[in-house]
Amino acid sequence: MVEEDLALELLKILASSRPDFAEVFTQKAVFSTVSREASGEATFASESDDGISMYMESGGKSFFSALGPAPAETLRAEARRLAEGQAGSQAETREIGRAGALRKRATPPGFGGWDVQSAIERAADGALASDPRVLGVSAIFKESLSDTLRLDSSGGRTVRQEHSWTAYVKALARDGRGARSGARIIAEDHEPTAEAVSDAAAEAGRAACLLLEARPAPAGEFPIVLAPQAAGLFLHETIGRALEGGLAARGSSFLSGSHGRPVASPVLTISQEPLRGGQYDDEGNPVEKQLLVEDGALARFIAGRKSGALIDAPKASSAWRGSYRSLPSPLLRYMSVASKEASLQKMLAGMEFGFYAARIGGGSFDAESGSFRFPVSEGFVVREGAIAEPVEPMEISGSAPEALMLISEVGSKRESHPGVAPRRREGIMVWDIAPAIAFGKMTLAPAGPI
C-alpha cells in the first residue's frame, strides 16, 4: 500500500490547483481461497490488489484517477496531470490511467490459521450423517483482508482494516428420482470453527434431501411467512435499495418524496447499525446507528457526501466503494430489523393455506416502480397453521409498496445473514439481521428465468 507520506504529497499536488474538494484513497487487499471438491481434490488461489485513487471536484465538475502499483514518480505525475487537466475539461467525470490487475501470489504456509483439512472432513461427516441419501460435499473457504487509508483536502484522515472469513458448503443428494443440491454460507469477522462448518454442511444436506421430496408449487396469491434469511434479503433488496440517496435525489426510487410518511406497516422498524470491524465509511464519516424506517414511517435515506447534500441528509455515513478502483456510493451495509413479540407458531397459526419461505436468493428489483421477483430455493406449504410438505423451487413477485404495507407480524427471534451487494463489476459484503416476517399475501409461481 502507498505510504502515508507519499499519499499526503499527492494530496498537496491536487490541492495546489485550489479545487473545491480533493481526496486520496489507498488500499491493499489480499484474497485467499481454498476449494475442495467432494472427491477430495483441493485447489488453492491467492490474489492481492494494491492501488490508489485520486479524486477532485472543481467548478461543478468531478475528476477521478485510479492506478494499480506504480513508482512514486509515476503517481506524482498522475496527480499533476489530474490537477492540471481539470481546468477547461468538459467531462463531468473522467478516468485517467487504468487500475492494475489482480496479481497471483505464491501459496502461503497455512491458510489464515484455519485447519482446512479438519474443517472439510467434519463438513463431510456432518452432511453424510444428516441423511443416507447425501453423497458428499464440496466447500469453498475464503479469507479477505483489506487495509485502507483515506485523506482529503478538509483535513480528514481515516484508516480502516476489514478482515472476514467465508465458508460456502454445498451438499449433493440423490435418490431414484434424481439429484438435488443444498447450500449454506458462513461469513464472520473471525475464523469459523470446524464444528460450525460441519453444522452448515449438515443443514445443506438436509436442504438437498428436502428438495428430493418436493412437490410442484401452485400459482396464485397466498399469505406467506418469510424466515429470517428470506426476510432480511427481501427487505435489503427492496426497501434497502430504494432508500439510497442517489436514487431519491433523481426521483428514481418509489420512496422519493416520502420522508416522514408511512411506507410500510407500522410493525416494521429498520435501522442502519455500525459496521462490524470498522467505525468509518469510505468517505471518512463515522458510522452510527440511524433509524431509517420507524414504525412504518420513512425516517431518513442513506446517503454519501454528495447525495446527502442533494436530499438534505445530515451526517451522511453510508458511502461505500468496492475498492480503490471505484468512487463511493450509498449502500446499506448492515441492516437491522427490530424484533416484535410474534413467535413463528403465532404467525403460522391463522394461516389456513399459505407458504413458508425458508430461503430466497437474489432476483430482480426495480427501485422506481417497486416491482420485484425473487426465487425461493427452500419453501414449504402451510396447512392449518402448520408447516407441511416442501415445494419445488418457486418465485415470489409483486410490488414492494404494496407488500410492505401488507406486513402483518414481525417475529421475536432474529438471525444474522451475510450477502454481497454488486457495485459495477465489484461486490461489497453486507449483513442483514432480521426476524421472520408475515405478509398478508404475495404472488407465488413455479420458478422461471429471472
Q: List, in order, residues 6 or more apart from 396 with CB less than 8 Å away.
A: 224, 357, 360, 372, 373, 374, 376, 442, 443, 444
Over 90: is that where the pLDDT of 313 sits?
no
Nearest of 262, 273, 222 to residue 239 by alpha carbon? 262
- Percent of residues, the chain, with pLDDT higher than 70: 89
Place of cell 436530499: 311
* Cα–Cα separations (whole angstroms), residue 101 to 51, 68, 69, 104, 204: 10, 7, 9, 10, 35
Please tell me the distance from the alpha carbon of residue 291 to that of residue 406, in angstroms, as a whole number. 21
The string of pLDDT tens digits covering residues 337-356 is 999 999 999 999 989 999 99
Nearest of 73, 74, 82 to residue 19 by alpha carbon? 82
3-state secondary structure of 87: coil
Half-sphere exposure in the Cβ direction for 373 (13 Å, CA): 9
Q: How confident is the model at residue 397 (pLDDT cuts 50, 70, 90)?
A: very high
Q: Which three cell numbers stand for residue 320?
A: 461505500
Q: Which domains does the chain have, with CATH numbers?
A: 4-77+94-212 (3.30.2290.10), 220-446 (no CATH)
Mean pLDDT across the stretch 248-272?
A: 94
Over 60: is that where the pLDDT of 97 sits?
no
The string of pLDDT tens digits covering residues 83-92 is 886 543 333 3
Over 70: is that where the pLDDT of 173 sits?
yes
The pLDDT, as a whole number, for residue 109 is 41
The pLDDT, as a whole number, for residue 267 is 97
Q: List, in order, residues 6 or more apart from 423 with CB less than 8 Å away.
A: 320, 321, 322, 326, 329, 331
Q: Supply angle C-alpha 287, 271, 377, rounded to 5.
A: 115
Q: How confident is the model at residue 5 (pLDDT cuts 50, 70, 90)?
A: very high
Mean pLDDT across the stretch 380-408?
A: 95
DSSP assignment of 255-321 equals: TTT-TTSB-S-TT--EEE-PPTT-SB-TTS-B---EEEEETTEE---B--HHHHHHHT-TT---EE-
Please tell me the distance from the alpha carbon of residue 381 to that of residue 388, in angstroms, as a whole number. 5
Q: How confident is the model at residue 38 (pLDDT cuts 50, 70, 90)?
A: low
